[in-house]
Structure 1
């Protein structure tokens, strides 16, 4: 899928393309198939609001598991609001052509690494999670996870994080969400299939 917008489209057309992109994904994990179906239904039902942080308390987000090319290290951010080490990511913005473009933009903004190679043909993970009061009106994120590759260069820390650092994929820092290792596993499986 192109990271460049293919002409001007309405928010509803963008939502329809998003639902089609998610519906076309064939995950290997049966649990992810059920998530895919739920994400597609949510996006089709909500339309443009599914991609808009102001469209309701639940909406799609895009995150990126930035890996070294040898798949041994992952770039994580100690998120200020969550208080956890997480993959890079955030809300879809009106100027983002699609979910992979949002994931790439967020990874560049939060990690400060411009030279990222996004594996943009399909997401690698879908994950719904509730949010605490620190997230304002947002009550749940329907997160689409993507993979990008980068050289292990020193990252920059954005205002959204306390710290951004590379970690061995088999020795993650603490604290992390209880299921980050599962999500990272999906990313690593997809990355290995790519090579």
Structure 2
């Protein structure tokens, strides 16, 4: 199955297909550093021990996605304001039942959080990050697979009612509340496109 294609063999639950695709993606991925290779091995170990490791209900933690969305000129980045954390950050979130793979999760989350359709998500991660966060009343590990993406020309963010605000910012003038993780992800997304941020 092609990642992001949305197709899966008949009779295979989305969670099982997504789990298999996540393992395949991480096995193919060339980690850019020793630390990223260590995280890649940790993510694969988590998935090997948890068939539900891409599902939010996995009690040992679960995979999530982060998406740094740039405009076509690579001059602006789309961020969302997380009210609970009171800071601006990249888009992203949890896998849902209908997501066949992580690319589909990234595409759906980016569209839901920004209101922009047609965001083009790169087929390979640019960074892995592990953190702990509250989820369903528990403090759980989150294994975040982070992607770069590009918005259609002249895309205007219009989040759905009840969603956090989304806004374009110049890549060299991020809001002061954006943490170093978000800033580093933006720099990395620009760097893989040959720009020196």
TM-score of the aligned structures, taking structure 1 as reference length? 0.87
Asked if 2 retains the 8 angstrom alpha-carbon contact of 1:61 and 1:91, the reply is: yes
Query: Partners of 1:186 and 1:37 in 2: how far apart?
Result: 21
Match in the other structure for 1:60: 63
Structure 1's unaligned 5+ residue stretches are none
Select the residue among 4, 15, 25 that pairs with 1:21.
25
Pairwise CA distance, 1:5: 2.2
Any unmatched runs of 5+ in structure 2?
none
Q: Work out the CA distance in 2 between the residues paired with 1:192 and 1:136.
A: 42
Please state how far the C-alpha of 1:13 moved relative to its aligned partner: 4.6
Q: Are 1:72 and 2:68 matched, yes or no?
A: no
Paired residue secondary structure (2:117): coil
Deviates more, 1:176-185 or 1:105-114: 176-185
Give 1:148's aligned residue: 149
User: Offset of 1:132 from its aligned partner?
Assistant: 4.8
- State whether residues 23 and 37 of structure 1, in contact with CA within 8 Å, keep that contact through their aligned partners in structure 2: no
Aligned to 1:105: 108
Which stretch of structure 1 is more off in the superposition, 93-102 or 146-155? 146-155
Structure with more of its chain in helix, by fraction: 1
Alpha carbons of 1:172 and 1:13: their partners in 2 closer, same or farther (altered >3 Å)?
Answer: same
SS at match of 1:186: helix
1:171 aligns with 2:164: no
- The corresponding residue for 1:33 is 37
**Is residue 44 from structure 1 mapped to residue 51 from structure 2 by the alignment?**
no
1:137, 1:191 → 2: CA distance? 38
Report if aligned partners of 1:78, 1:86 keep a CA contact under 8 Å in 2.
yes
CA distance in 1, matches of 2:168, 2:60: 32
Counterpart selection for 1:181 from 180, 183, 189: 183
Do 1:16 and 1:44's aligned partners in 2 also have CA atoms closer than 8 Å?
Answer: no
CA distance in 2, matches of 1:94, 1:43: 17
- Hey, what does 1:137 align to over in structure 2? 138
Structure 2 CA distance for aligned equivalents of residues 17 and 104 of structure 1: 15
